[in-house]
Amino acid sequence: MTGKLAALERWVNEAAALARPARVHWCDGSDAEYRELVRQMLASGELLGLNPDTHPGCYLHRSHPSDVARVEHLTYVCTRERDDAGPNNHWLPPAEAHAKMDALFDGCMAGRTMYVVPYCMGPIDSPLARCGVELTDSPYVVANMRIMTRMGEAALARIGREGRFVKGLHSIGELDPERRFIMHFPEELSIKSYGSGYGGNALLGKKCHALRIASWQARAEGWLAEHMLIVGIETPRGDTHYIAAAFPSACGKTNLAMLIPPEGYRRDGWKVWTVGDDICWMRPGADGRLYAINPEAGFFGVAPGTSAASNPNALATVAHDAIFTNVALTADGRPWWDGLPGAPAFDWQGRPYDPANGPAAHPNSRFTVSARQCPTWSPHAEDALGVPLSAIVFGGRRPALLPLVMEARDWTHGVLMGAAMGSETTAAATGAVGVLRRDPMAMKPFCGYHYGDYFAHWLSFDQPGAKLPKVFHVNWFRKDAEGKYLWPGFGDNLRVLEWMIARVEGRLRGRETPVGILPAADELKLDGLDLPPAARHELLALDIPGWRAELAAIGQDLEAYAPRLPDRLRREQQRIAAALAAAAAAQAA
Ligand code: SAT
Ligand code: MN
């Protein structure tokens, strides 16, 4: 190889000299290659064939039972200066991290094949897209990367033209949690991941490249790499508004991205177009608007809860040519999880199903599937220049206080809303579930640099001439005193998006409050919805003492990022705290 691919070849040779695989295979991304990988994995037992009549081209993978989620406590950002990684990341000096990882990689691929996986994050002809190469000894990872990215020859050709790519070295190692680390070297655009074959730990194009490394690159180059879905809402007038929305893992991003409008809305001509369900790269265009691409080519979605009621589009998407990981199995070889008809015969570990062993499908079980199979896949999802954003939405699981929807009064307030995001933890990461954690912009596990610098970078988009999207915060997860959800969610979330669009188009006035603009009485269309008046009130009520405590907590939590916390953000928090104090005084008077 010559020219710009020589550096790639040198790095592949170095990695092979370290890991000492029996063979090196350069992936071309072809159908024939995918079929051959599947054939080998069926033979080795890494994949099981599913019922070919109900699920043609579908396979089941069971991961090691100790390897079922991202491992945030073993994930590091290794910058030369500790402060550049920030208190939001685990850190090691790069030399120490390399030494630690190289000792693990030493000879680890003996007898195995090392796959060279060139990939492109984003449409292959997009100026916003970025390439990488993952070296891995896991054929399961290769098969998933082929679905999740533009993998193979075209990506290699682009790398040959550009010369620049993110280097990712991965081995499943012994799948030993004691010998498992995910290390990022943003200054070198490189990643080393050892000891896990699961999702975000192992499919290095996803969280490692498209968020942690990309957020670093984005800061240097003037764009944003975010943990957001992208959805297009087509109104009965025929305009499509694109919305990017950040929610923590397993909070319904895939469901919102594939939303089915309620009956009446469908009749009126509303349509929803899916552009992405997890990651959004965005950059100001020549007209001052923010343009977004989905760097991924597939969905790695949470299976449990995906049902005909919650997300029929996702079910249709995974009806063929999909890889399932850690779901349960019916007696006739269909994948199964809570929300599907039928009954599990085998649990996610392959044991005959026994409720005493816990849920049949693992709570973080997943499907991997090409986005092109989605019935609502947007005809603009692969536009090289991306789609223009009308709104950015932040949200989390908040059982109390946070209203169904509120709008930021300007960009600075919007950045504070994002920075103040909190959510109850879910099964997408190891650790306790259901604990409130502050998760700014849903990037806590994924921001590849100091959160203080990250907030400043967000604020920097507020330039003269910028036509920035409006910023909103939503909470689909409010509960009543009995712990029941107050809002039906799913398709009915379109009612909230409709209000946002009316605000974007300047057609509704809203109601100004100290914490943001809420829908005024009767502005949210709730017809056809069985929502008791008490719930309606509760969802949009303003609990001033509760909010004052929240603002104090936000102020305190943000100080963790001092001295790099932008003063503009601190002043915004103080402005709202003061407005709440004034409202409390007025109420008392
Ligand atoms: O495991 S992944 O990081 O790919 C999924 C998620 O947590 O969002
Ligand atoms: Mn995610």
Supply φ then ψ for residue 479, to 5 degrees.
Answer: -120, 155
Residue whose CA lies nearest to ligand 1 atom number 2: 200
Q: Which of 303, 276, 429, 299 is nearest to 366 (CA)?
A: 303
From the CA of 203, give the closest atom in ligand 1.
4
Mutate to test the pocket of ligand 1, among 61, 67, 70 (most ligand atoms within 8 A of CB): 70
Q: Which of 172, 161, 233 is nearest to 202 (CA)?
A: 172
Mutate to test the pocket of ligand 1, among 207, 296, 299 (most ligand atoms within 8 A of CB): 207
Residue whose CA lies nearest to ligand 1 atom number 3: 200
**pTM of this structure:** 0.97
State whether the beta carbon of 428 lies less than 6 angstroms from ligand 1: yes
From the CA of 203, which ligand is nearest? Answer: 1
From the CA of 442, which ligand is nearest? Answer: 2
251, 280, 374, 447: the active-site residue: 251
User: Rounded distance, CA 74 to CA 63, Å?
Assistant: 18
From the CA of 70, give the closest atom in ligand 1.
1
Residue whose CA lies nearest to ligand 1 atom number 5: 200
Tell me: cis bond preceding 563? Omega within 30 of 0 counts: yes
From the CA of 198, give the closest atom in ligand 1.
1
**How many whole angstroms from 528 Cα to the centroid of ligand 2?**
33
Residue whose CA lies nearest to ligand 1 atom number 6: 249
β pairing state of 190-194 and 166-171: parallel
Q: Position of tokens 């012994």?
A: 174
β pairing state of 59-61 and 322-325: parallel
Are 448 and 215 a contacting pair, CB within 8 Å? yes
Question: What does the pLDDT read at residue 540?
Answer: 97
251 is known as an active-site residue? yes
State whether the beta carbon of 62 lies less than 6 angstroms from ligand 1: no
From the CA of 201, give the closest atom in ligand 1.
1
State whether the beta carbon of 519 lies less than 6 angstroms from ligand 1: no
At what angle are helices 451-459 and 411-419 packed, to 10 degrees? Answer: 160
Looking at residue 558, its amino acid is: L
User: Rounded distance, CA 543 to CA 130, Å?
Assistant: 45
Question: What does the pLDDT read at residue 430?
Answer: 82
State whether the beta carbon of 207 lies less than 6 angstroms from ligand 1: yes
Are 382 and 238 a contacting pair, CB within 8 Å? no
Mutate to test the pocket of ligand 1, among 67, 68, 149, 278 (most ligand atoms within 8 A of CB): 278
Tokens of 199: 């999702």
User: Rounded distance, CA 259 to CA 254, Å?
Assistant: 8
Question: What does the pLDDT read at residue 1?
Answer: 57
State whether the beta carbon of 448 lies less than 6 angstroms from ligand 1: no
List, in order of start, the domains of the chain with CATH numbers. Answer: 3-46+66-222 (3.40.449.10), 226-298+378-544 (3.90.228.20)
Are 428 and 437 a contacting pair, CB within 8 Å? no
Tokens of 405: 């929807």
User: Rounded distance, CA 457 to CA 23, Å?
Assistant: 44
**How many whole angstroms from 300 Cα to the centroid of ligand 1?**
7
State whether the beta carbon of 551 lies less than 6 angstroms from ligand 1: no
User: Rounded distance, CA 176 to CA 408, Å?
Assistant: 46
State whether the beta carbon of 200 lies less than 6 angstroms from ligand 1: yes
Are 558 and 573 a contacting pair, CB within 8 Å? yes
From the CA of 366, give the closest atom in ligand 1.
5
State whether the beta carbon of 249 lies less than 6 angstroms from ligand 1: yes
Question: What does the pLDDT read at residue 425?
Answer: 84
CA 291 to chain CA mean position, Å? 18
From the CA of 429, give the closest atom in ligand 1.
7
**How many whole angstroms from 296 Cα to the centroid of ligand 2?**
12
Kindly report the three-state secondary structure assignment for every residue of 299-334: EEEECCCCCCCCCHHHHHHCCCCEEEECCEECCCCC
User: Mind listing the pLDDT tens digit for each residue in 183-223?
Assistant: 999 999 999 999 999 999 999 999 999 999 999 999 999 99
Looking at residue 520, its amino acid is: A
Which parts of the chain sit beneath pLDDT 50? none
